[in-house]
C-alpha cells in the first residue's frame, strides 16, 4: 500500500491525476470506486483520487469546525483517507459511503479531542463564507460562528453535519450512532439556541435598519 497518495496538500485541491479533465470515471458511483480500492495499485489509486476530489473539502470543513484548528483538520483529513484506503484494501463491505467516510473522520476527531483535551472551535479560526456581503451581514456571520461555541457538543456536531456538511438526517443518525428522532431534536434545539443567542443582535439590526 502506498499511503503517500494522500500526502499533504490544500483541502479540496489535488495534484497529478486529480487535476485531470473530467473522465468517465467521474460518473462511477462512490461505492463502485470504494470497491476498486481492493484492486491492484493503479486502479485503487485512481479510485482514491476521485473519492478525495469529491469529499476532501467536506471532510476538512467538518474537522475544522469541530476542532477549530486548520492544520489539525488537514492532518485528520489525510488520515481519514488513509483509513478509507486501508478499509477498502481489506475488502470491508459498506452500504452508505458518505456516512461511512464521515464516521471515520468523526472518530478521528473524537480521538484527537480525547488525547489533547482541546476546547471546541476558537472563534478566530472561522472564515466568512462570503467576502462581498455588507458589513452588517459579515458581522452576523461572525456572530453565528461564535455562537456555535456556546452550543452543547452534541447539538453543535449535529448542526455542523447538517448545515455545513449537507448530510441527511438519516446519514447523521448513522454517523453519530443515534436514532433519527434524537438527531431531529438536537438540530431543532441547536437552531433554537442559536436564535435565542442572536436575538438581541437581530433586534438591534432591525431597529437600526
- pLDDT tens-place string over residues 117-150: 644 443 333 333 434 334 445 666 677 777 787 8
- Higher model confidence: residue 115 or residue 208? 115
Question: Do 13 and 109 have their domain in common?
Answer: yes
**169 grid coordinates:** 438526517
Question: Do 94 and 187 have their domain in common?
Answer: no
* Percent residues over pLDDT 90 in the chain: 42
Question: Do 38 and 141 have their domain in common?
Answer: no
pLDDT at 10: 44
170 within domain boundaries: yes
Please state the separation of Cα 118 from the chain's center in Å: 18
125 within domain boundaries: no
Q: Let me know: does 88 contact 38? Beta carbons within 8 Å.
A: yes
Q: Report the chain's mean pLDDT, rounded to a whole number.
A: 78
126 within domain boundaries: no
pLDDT at 25: 60
Which residues, including other chains, have CB under 8 Å from residue 7's CB and lie 6 or more apart? 78
Please state the separation of Cα 49 from the chain's center in Å: 18
Q: Is the pLDDT of residue 49 over 70?
A: yes
CB neighbour burial string for 45-64, b if at least 16 within 10 angstroms, e if fewer = bbbbbbbbbbbbbbbbbbbb
**84 grid coordinates:** 478509507
Question: How far apart are the C-alpha atoms of 202 and 20, rounded to whole Å?
Answer: 46
Alpha-carbon distances, residue 172 vs 98, 99, 167, 202 (angstroms): 10, 7, 6, 30
- Higher model confidence: residue 172 or residue 197? 172
Question: Do 172 and 106 have their domain in common?
Answer: no
Question: Do 7 and 84 have their domain in common?
Answer: yes
DSSP one-letter string for 168-191: -HHHHHHHHT--HHHHHHHHHHHH
Domain of residue 48, CATH code: 1.10.1740.10
Q: Let me know: does 167 contact 101? Beta carbons within 8 Å.
A: no
Please state the separation of Cα 151 from the chain's center in Å: 18
* Mean pLDDT within 77-99: 93
Burial bucket for residue 36 (CB in 10 Å: 0-12, 13-18, 19+)? buried
- The boundaries of the domain holding residue 52 are 1-120
Q: Let me know: does 53 contact 88? Beta carbons within 8 Å.
A: no
Amino acid at each position: 500500500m502506498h499511503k503517500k497518495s494522500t500526502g499533504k496538500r490544500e483541502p479540496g485541491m489535488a495534484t497529478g491525476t486529480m487535476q485531470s479533465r473530467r473522465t468517465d470515471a467521474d460518473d462511477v458511483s462512490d461505492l463502485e470506486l470504494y470497491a476498486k480500492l481492493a484492486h491492484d495499485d493503479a486502479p485503487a489509486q485512481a479510485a482514491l483520487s476521485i473519492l478525495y476530489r469529491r469529499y476532501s473539502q467536506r471532510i476538512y470543513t467538518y474537522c475544522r469546525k469541530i476542532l477549530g484548528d486548520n492544520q489539525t483538520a488537514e492532518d485528520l483529513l489525510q488520515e481519514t483517507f488513509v483509513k478509507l484506503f486501508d478499509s477498502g484494501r481489506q475488502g470491508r463491505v459498506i452500504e452508505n459511503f458518505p456516512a461511512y467516510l464521515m464516521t471515520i473522520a468523526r472518530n478521528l476527531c473524537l480521538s484527537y479531542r480525547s488525547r489533547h483535551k482541546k476546547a471546541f472551535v476558537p472563534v478566530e479560526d472561522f472564515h466568512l463564507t462570503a467576502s462581498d456581503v455588507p458589513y452588517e451581514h459579515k458581522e452576523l456571520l461572525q456572530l453565528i460562528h461564535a455562537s456555535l461555541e456556546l452550543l452543547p457538543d452534541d447539538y453543535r456536531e449535529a448542526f455542523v453535519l447538517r448545515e455545513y456538511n449537507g448530510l441527511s438526517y438519516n446519514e447523521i443518525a448513522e454517523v453519530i450512532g443515534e436514532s433519527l428522532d434524537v438527531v431531529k431534536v438536537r438540530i431543532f434545539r441547536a437552531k433554537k439556541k442559536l436564535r435565542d443567542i442572536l436575538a438581541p443582535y437581530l433586534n438591534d439590526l432591525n431597529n437600526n435598519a
